[in-house]
A and B are shown apart, each in its own frame.
Chain A
């Protein structure tokens, strides 16, 4: 496809052989390991994923996809991680893959040589990392921090509480955001740094997730745990956008999944002498769901092509930020619509816990409300576009 303008030095959408292979493997793996019966069974288990299945994911190399080879990864990028997350989302596969991937990216961008060589090989190998970024006020602005760190000698005394720390109970490493002397700072905590009662499980709308509140009062760590390299405020923004990208992938996958669940019902359920999918009142909104999905996927793979964690210098005119925000907004809208209609189109069955439509609707609500809903991203797109 010839470039239509000289403004862009690279194509809007690139899709490599690696991405294609990863996507194919992830699709097969997710379908095999996360059929809907397993998803429901896992919802009542202690963790979001069993340890042996997590170990299989590590063995597949998925946790090191975006980690450089010198640290034990495969040296690809977040674009390749998108190719894994989308098929996982399709099967409502829950795991700390997103948080572990993002933790590695932020360590890569802001860690010093010792932090990188200590943690990146471990994360590539299956050590679980959790992100402690949100706070009780619920503001999506990650720089709005009430948690603090105070330097006392060579120790950092922490205070305050973090929320929505997913998979905290199985994490060995935490990336925690705090205010230090009035400026945002990122601290690496190990599970052993936390008192036994520091984590409190939250009851969240997406029952495939395990989310925790984290009490930082009384926690004290060495100042060496600070991530010191690079611009922390900029890294927090990159982290936010990277999370948006991966959530957009998960939501696109989820939209495919819920459209399939609904189609199955519309082509087998009969009412008034017809398969209900023959009625235009149901058929036409399904086409709206499909066109919403296709637009969202196009935005997603464009964002996957142009976004690079900490890659501000290449981001001329906010191209990557625009792409990622659009991808998150469109995927959220597509998933919300498809999963909302999925409940409605299952009729009375849709109102039951047994119907799978609710699993997708709850997943969609979680994903939309983490890291900004579509209105929020539209608001932030306006100054970039107008």
Chain B
């Protein structure tokens, strides 16, 4: 870290004061927990306005280059600001795909023209981004993408569909993996990667109703949609490499993200509070030895995940298997979150059966909804089972599963 302790302390005080002052009041409706759960215009407008405010205050993209709208400061400042957002539990930055995946990718591999066109508008939330990777017939098997991109002069004609497009109804741009050549030796060689506008003829995002009963993403249909070949990022036919680079940003294996909080943190402490109020056989549930044992286990696991992040930054304590912590992070954290929500439901006695919308639902039904939504973490971006294959093969060096 290249900033002095003095600067750190002063900056910490500054951000702390700003967020205390500017943190939005309760909007009066249940906010989503992450960008994958934005289901209504009301939620979207609220979150977009909030991100813009944080950016204009200078607390987003602080380490991105100034010529593209970034702050040009040391990453340490952004880390402090991000930690403060988490600590103050402010609403998340809704343009996650732009800020954490597309933005760093464009800065890393894009042309000057692409950086010029997109980076600042990602930070200000003027342009919302979505991701077109998964397809209906092959969710986690990215290399098998079949959406066709056929060259026609200096344009590509797109046909097919993408699915699980978070923010699909609101997005202005998409990072798109498409098949530009069907006659290659391997399935990977025929892929190209595009940065495409969403609001053009031939692209139709159709909302999908989730298991919670809410809307949060779309199936996006492409019917002869035409885009310029200047939308390519990386060379034509080299889309797989660009997709792999994107995943290193998505899984936070590579740095360079704009920063900011990206999902509402769930903490075991909140479940401990729940256990104090819940009743078991006429006594608070927190007095039940089995409940206590489980709470301690969740606290210990949560602490371990937090300490993993800290240890991962210490070179001398790098694990025997490099990448073990970072590559398994999505797996470990999403599974923990799912189980914690499930446990929180189990503490509510008969009231566990209520759901969001019922006046008597405990905490407004957030644990029930949180549990159902937690599957987006254990399924989206590669299911936990696929993650275990990846970690087993790339980290432990086990042979590929057939």
By a beta-carbon cutoff of 8 Å, the part of chain A in contact with chain B is 1-2, 4-5, 11-13, 15, 19-20, 23, 256, 259-260, 263, 266-267, 274-275, 277-280, 283-284, 286-287, 290-291, 294-299, 301-302, 326, 329-330, 375, 378-379, 381-382, 385-386
Taking a contact as CB atoms closer than 8 A, the residue among B300, B313, B314, B321 that contacts A329 in the complex is: B300
Interface: B385 (CB within 8 A): yes
Q: How far is the CA of A13 from the CA of B80 in the complex (A)?
A: 18
- List the A side residues contacting B80 at CB < 8 Å: 2
Q: How far is the CA of A105 from the CA of B389 in the complex (A)?
A: 45
Secondary structure of the B side of the interface?
Answer: helix
Interface: B24 (CB within 8 A): no
Contact (Cβ within 8 A) A283 B320: no
Contact (Cβ within 8 A) B317 A15: yes
Interface: B152 (CB within 8 A): no
Number of A-B residue pairs, CB cutoff 8 Å, is 145
Which of A266, A295, A381 is the most central at the interface, judged by chain B CB atoms within 10 Å of its CB? A295
- List the A side residues contacting B87 at CB < 8 Å: 4-5
Q: How far is the CA of A278 from the CA of B402 in the complex (A)?
A: 7
Contact (Cβ within 8 A) B398 A291: no
Q: How large is the interface on B (under 10, 10 to 19, 20 to 34, 35 or more residues)?
A: 35 or more
By a beta-carbon cutoff of 8 Å, the part of chain B in contact with chain A is 1, 8, 12, 76, 79-80, 83, 86-87, 272, 286, 292-293, 295-297, 299-301, 303-305, 307-308, 310-311, 313-314, 316-317, 319-321, 324-325, 328, 331-332, 385, 388-389, 391-393, 395-402
Secondary structure of the A side of the interface?
Answer: helix
Which of B297, B299, B303, B307 is the most central at the interface, judged by chain A CB atoms within 10 Å of its CB? B307
Known contacts A2-B83, A280-B401, A382-B293: does B314 contact A287 (CB below 8 Å)?
no
Known contacts A13-B314, A295-B305: does B395 contact A386 (CB below 8 Å)?
no
Q: Which residue of A lies closest to B276 (CB)?
A: A386
Contact (Cβ within 8 A) B325 A294: yes
Contact (Cβ within 8 A) A294 B328: yes
Q: Which residue of B lies closest to A262 (CB)?
A: B396
**The 5 residue pairs across chains A and B that have the minimum distance between CB atoms:** A295-B304, A298-B307, A277-B398, A20-B316, A283-B392
Known: A299-B300, A299-B307, A382-B295. 6 other contacts (CB 8 A): A2-B79, A15-B316, A284-B389, A287-B388, A295-B305, A378-B293
Known contacts A13-B311, A299-B303: does B399 contact A278 (CB below 8 Å)?
yes
- List the B side residues contacting A19 at CB < 8 Å: 316
Q: How far is the CA of A380 from the CA of B8 in the complex (A)?
A: 37
Contact (Cβ within 8 A) B392 A284: yes
Contact (Cβ within 8 A) A2 B317: no
Contact (Cβ within 8 A) A297 B317: yes
- List the A side residues contacting B331 at CB < 8 Å: 287, 291
